[in-house]
């Protein structure tokens, strides 16, 4: 079950005797790691107007969603079973109000032996879910979509950026 997917290196969560395990990163050198993820939540026009007016029923959706996303980044190891415990050195979550959506971008940094892609994705997902929770009294038709990693840097596999 080991797969050659990392520049010739065998990477697997399965041991030689086919038992599940966390990948051993102890021999890797710590490097600066950065990952960015995005996602959006599709929202009706009337709800966008309510957001712009600052009169949403549960208060400031952006501050609450940012806190939820940052907390989720720090707790990823407990949410995704094979994620390592990482010392997060920076997390930034930004929002953009679009015509019929809110876009969320999460940037996560660390200096470690493994990357922060999952942390960026989890932070974005939780920020989006919190927006949904904050707005569900006025719009139950919202749809969370396009959750994706858009770039990462650091580590043995190097830099990667989603092509446009």
Per-residue model confidence as pLDDT tens digits over 76-102: 999 999 899 999 999 999 999 999 999
Q: Which two tokens stand for residue 92?
A: 């930034």
pLDDT digits (tens, 9 = 90+) for 107-127: 999 999 999 999 999 999 999
Residue 20, domain member (yes or no): no
3-state secondary structure 53-73: HCCCCCCCHHHHHHHHHHHHH
- For residue 16, pLDDT beyond 80: no
pLDDT bin (cut points 50, 70, 90) of residue 23 is confident
CA 135 from centroid of its chain's CA atoms: 21
Give domain status of residue 30, yes or no.
no
The verdict on residue 162 lying in a domain is no
The Cβ of residue 163 has, within 10 Å, a number of other Cβ atoms equal to 4
What is the pLDDT at residue 26? Answer: 86
Domain that holds residue 122: 42-154
The residue from 133, 139, 146, 159 that is catalytic is 133
Which are the contacts of 58, defined by CB distance < 8 A and separation ≥ 6? 64, 133, 134, 135, 137
The answer as to whether 66 is a domain residue is yes
Identify whether 146 is a catalytic site residue. Answer: no
Chain segment 46-84, per-residue pLDDT in tens: 999 999 999 999 999 999 999 999 999 999 999 999 899
User: pTM of the prediction?
Assistant: 0.89
Task: Answer yes or no: is 87 within a domain.
Answer: yes
Q: Is residue 118 in a domain?
A: yes
Of 92, 96, 123, the closest CA to residue 109 belongs to: 92
Flag whether 21 is in a domain.
Answer: no
Inter-residue contact 68 to 127 (CB < 8 Å): yes
47 is a domain residue:
yes
Count of domains forming the chain: 1
Q: Give residue 10's pLDDT band: very low, low, confident or very high (50, 70, 90).
A: low
Q: In degrees, to the nearest 5, what angle opens at C-alpha 61 toward C-alphas 48 and 75?
A: 130
Give yes or no for residue 29 having a pLDDT over 60: yes
Q: What is the CATH number of the domain that holds 52?
A: 3.30.70.640
């Amino acid at each position: 079950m080991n797969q050659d997917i990392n520049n010739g290196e065998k990477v697997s969560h399965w041991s030689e005797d086919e038992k599940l395990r966390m990948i051993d990163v102890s021999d890797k050198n710590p490097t600066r790691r950065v990952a960015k993820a995005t996602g959006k939540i599709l929202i009706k026009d009337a709800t966008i107007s309510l957001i712009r007016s600052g009169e949403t029923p549960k208060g400031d959706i952006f501050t609450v969603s940012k806190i939820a996303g940052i907390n989720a980044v720090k707790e990823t190891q407990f949410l995704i079973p094979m994620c390592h415990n990482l010392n997060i050195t920076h997390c930034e979550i930004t929002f953009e109000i679009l015509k019929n959506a809110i876009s969320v971008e999460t940037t996560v940094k660390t200096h470690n032996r493994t990357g922060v892609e999952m942390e960026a994705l989890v932070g974005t997902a939780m920020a989006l879910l919190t927006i949904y929770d904050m707005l569900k009294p006025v719009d139950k038709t919202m749809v969370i979509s396009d959750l994706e990693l858009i770039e990462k840097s650091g580590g043995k596999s190097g830099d990667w950026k989603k092509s446009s």
